[in-house]
Structure 1
Amino acid sequence: MKKTLLMAAFALMGTAAFAQSGTGWGIKGGLSYNKNGDLIQTVSNSAQNVVEGAEGKTGYHFGLWGKLDFPKMYIRPELVYTKTKSSYNLNNATNDYDLSKLDLPVLIGVKIIGPLHVFAGPAFQYVLDNDLGDLRVQDVENDFSVGLNAGVGVNLGRIGLDVRYERGFSENEARFIGNNITNVEGRVDSRPSQIIFALSLKLSGSNRR
């Protein structure tokens, strides 16, 4: 029920933005290179835990965006489904950490020259699902979290290209244990750190940059 209400809230916020006078809207999609936070393995009878950093892997995203345009700046909310993946080496075995989430970035952009623009803003994130290879992983501590998006892009008519960096503000851990492996337990930080490459297509609105 909670997930359904949050998804409906995201959709309503996006629809409200699209309905603004002078706003264009469209679709977007692309690839990302993501590294989640550290995996910390709890070691029995030891005063020190084992910390394993993530190896980045490629993910993807797709969704909708809206834009309220001004002469020198713009406001752009997005509603995006995102799939990220990181890899951890645990007990000489590789486990991929897959994360599915809804992202709602609210970006403020500044037009630099011609089609070039820069942007930044908060990214509200809602985790839908997580999976850690052969290990049994619990839900993340906080389904809802906040991060930061910042990047640069160009607009070419109705086509837009941008590259951005996304970072979660705070740790958001999920505990795990081994299914068929004894003495394997710990926690993994789901906080994203990713570079995102996106292609946007404007479906409605003016061609003004």
Structure 2
Amino acid sequence: MKKVILTAIVGLAANFASAQNINFGIKGGAVFNTDKGEVWRDAGDIFKRDGKASAGFQAGVLSRISLAGIYIQPELLYTQFKNDYDVPADATSNDVNTRFSVTKKRIDVPVNVGKRFLGIANVQAGPVFSYYFDDKISVKEFTAAKQDEFNVGMQIGAGVEVSKLLFDLRYEFGLGKLGTEIVNGNNREFNTQNRPQMLNLTVAYLF
């Protein structure tokens, strides 16, 4: 899948390399993960608890191809965010036994189509293809036994363009759920599940 994503980016660049209205740039910014997710223990029949969403970041490169009043903007981004979870001591107690977080690291390939208006503003939408390559657990006694690696989502957003600077705000939602299987030091199994829902606030510079 990673090869497919990289091949798609190279293919897009090759197809439009001879176009006059093409720009390349770099971008970065903050991501705000608004999906709290859930965690359960022992195959889901003991308890569930909501996770707490948190902020992260993303950075990478982009190209923008202008065609007949619209533009196509493929990007290649590194994105990182986390979810925090409180695990109670047992099924009947509200006392917190363990708090842990899962930091997700992924490679994103959004391909948005946008339309400019009023000279400086734009609206945009398109799919985002994500490859999750690492789930890091904050508690040393916990290890990630298995994780989902691929997901497809959609992005919609708006932006402002000032000279060569692009300021974008996008809402992203996953079309599927992602899970992580976790094993603690006592060989107890935990499972987390999330459907990505994020606000991405970024700034880009076009060369």
TM superposition score normalised by structure 2? 0.84
The 4+ residue runs of structure 1 with deviation greater than 6 A are none
Q: Residue 138 of structure 1 corresponds to which residue in structure 2? A: 145
Q: Which runs of 5+ in 2 are unaligned?
A: 89-95
Is 1:32–1:60's contact at 8 Å kept on the other side of the alignment? yes
Q: Residue 201 of structure 2 corresponds to which residue in structure 1? A: 197
Q: Residue 92 of structure 2 corresponds to which residue in structure 1? A: none
| Cα shift readout 1:103-159 (whole Å, capped 9, x = no counterpart) | 000101122322111111100001111112212112323x22201111110111100
Q: Give, in angstroms, the shift of residue 31 of structure 1.
A: 0.8
Is 2:131–2:150's contact at 8 Å kept on the other side of the alignment? yes
Q: Give, in angstroms, the shift of residue 171 of structure 1.
A: 1.2
> Does residue 51 of the first structure (1) align with residue 57 of the second (2)?
no
- Number of aligned residue pairs: 196
Is 1:18–1:67's contact at 8 Å kept on the other side of the alignment? no
Q: What SS does structure 2 have at the residue aligned with 1:138?
A: strand
Percent identity, aligned pairs only, is 24
- Separation in structure 1 between the aligned mates of residue 189 and residue 18 of structure 2, nearest angstrom: 50
TM superposition score normalised by structure 1? 0.83
Is 2:5–2:109's contact at 8 Å kept on the other side of the alignment? no
Is 1:78–1:106's contact at 8 Å kept on the other side of the alignment? yes
- Separation in structure 1 between the aligned mates of residue 73 and residue 13 of structure 2, nearest angstrom: 12
| Cα shift readout 1:24-47 (whole Å, capped 9, x = no counterpart) | 110000011114562332248xx8
> Does residue 77 of the first structure (1) align with residue 74 of the second (2)?
yes
Alignment of 1:162-201 (within 5 A): 162-179=168-185, 182=186, 184-201=188-205
| Cα shift readout 1:37-75 (whole Å, capped 9, x = no counterpart) | 62332248xx83422222111111110111111343211
Alignment of 1:29-40 (within 5 A): 29-36=28-35, 38-40=37-39
Q: Which runs of 5+ in 1 are unaligned?
A: 204-209
Q: What SS does structure 2 have at the residue aligned with 1:85?
A: strand
> Letter of the aligned partner of 2:147 in structure 1?
V
Which of 142, 159, 164 is the equivalent residue of 1:158?
Answer: 164
Is 2:54–2:82's contact at 8 Å kept on the other side of the alignment? yes
Is 1:73–1:111's contact at 8 Å kept on the other side of the alignment? yes
